[in-house]
Structure 1
Amino acid sequence: MCKMVDLTGERFGRLTVISKGNKRLYGKPTWLCRCDCGRLKYAITQSLKNGDVKSCGCLQRETRRKNAINLNEVRIHHGMSDSRIYRIYNNMISRCYRKSSNGYENYGDRGIRVCDEWLGKDGFKNFMEWSFANGYSDKLTIDRIDNNGNYEPKNCKWSTRKEQANNTRATIFLEYNGKSHSLTEWSEITGLSKATIYTRLRKGFSNEKALGYK
């Protein structure tokens, strides 16, 4: 059995190892550590050395507080609180920073963020000015050009719902006769329903047969 390397006195993030622990985690021996905030924390060697544990938990709490945008602070006296564009802005912030928000798992949980320019006291004002200068209308929705990128001026545009649907990660594109279209677009071109095309593909049909060209 390998001898446990003594980590006493070593520092990992905010934690300083003060002694061997008197409890086990995951079946492994632990180290008793003191966090910079004064709290004690038990951690195994691997978690400390890999950087998986850097504090008693206070670092994560601080990070969450920093990222949790207080929408009441953002709601400056712009007179637009009941407008459609403010609801879009509000929802954009919520799905990136509020775990309870519908869709958080597809945005904030994936690391999607909102740029600094659109956050804080002047965040909505800056967002609104960008929107009206870049084609905003009540018939369009905010869309990210790179679906894995953040909400920021260079990666956002105003799109129809159809255009936005074609930009989702779940969108299926088919190539036929040198052309590539989404199922929605092929449905309009061929007159077949999306469900019919999709079912044919699931059954192993070639693109040509799925689209009814053979």
Structure 2
Amino acid sequence: MRVGQLRVEHEGEPYEWRGRFSRRRWVCRCDCGNLTEVREDRLKNHTTRSCGCVRTAVARDRLLRHGGRSGGRVAPEYWAWQALLHRSEGVRVCRRWRAGKGQGFTAFLEDVGSRPSPRHRLTRPDPSRAFGPGNACWQADVPRRGVPRRLVAWRGRQMTLHEAAEKAGVPYARLCKRLERGWPVELALQA
């Protein structure tokens, strides 16, 4: 006999309530491999259909937010998807990934897959096209692109603040503070 994911193997010890025999119990093997004892009335009424593994799976799915959030931890793929949707520089994202009620994140995960390692970042092979199924992939050790925050002329060359701070041997944060306070570039870059 089979009920849900349970296959009845043999009769177990009877269920006693307040010292009296109340119900028969059956030993059942679940599809997941666990053995469990179930009261006969619960098998007949189909109220118990597994060893508890289905309830655990349903609860886990309920806790996951769009498949990307569980127990206060957020999957890196979820952060990447959120960053795509909230970028201020006008990067376009396909309609499929912008769908609501978790469907957008699910579609994003189906198309791009899980991030292979923490070194990987989401990139677009063709920057002229929107982020979408054919134009997004995980790449390792990708240098950050974009317009530098500020260029400075130092020793006859134009360079970013990071480059200038590194070449001058001045901590980047200190250089930024000095420039915010109005220091000339040559003086700010002195160690």
TM-score category by the smaller chain?
0.3 to 0.5
Higher strand share: 2
TM score, norm. by length of structure 1: 0.36
* Higher radius of gyration, 1 or 2: 2
TM score, norm. by length of structure 2: 0.39
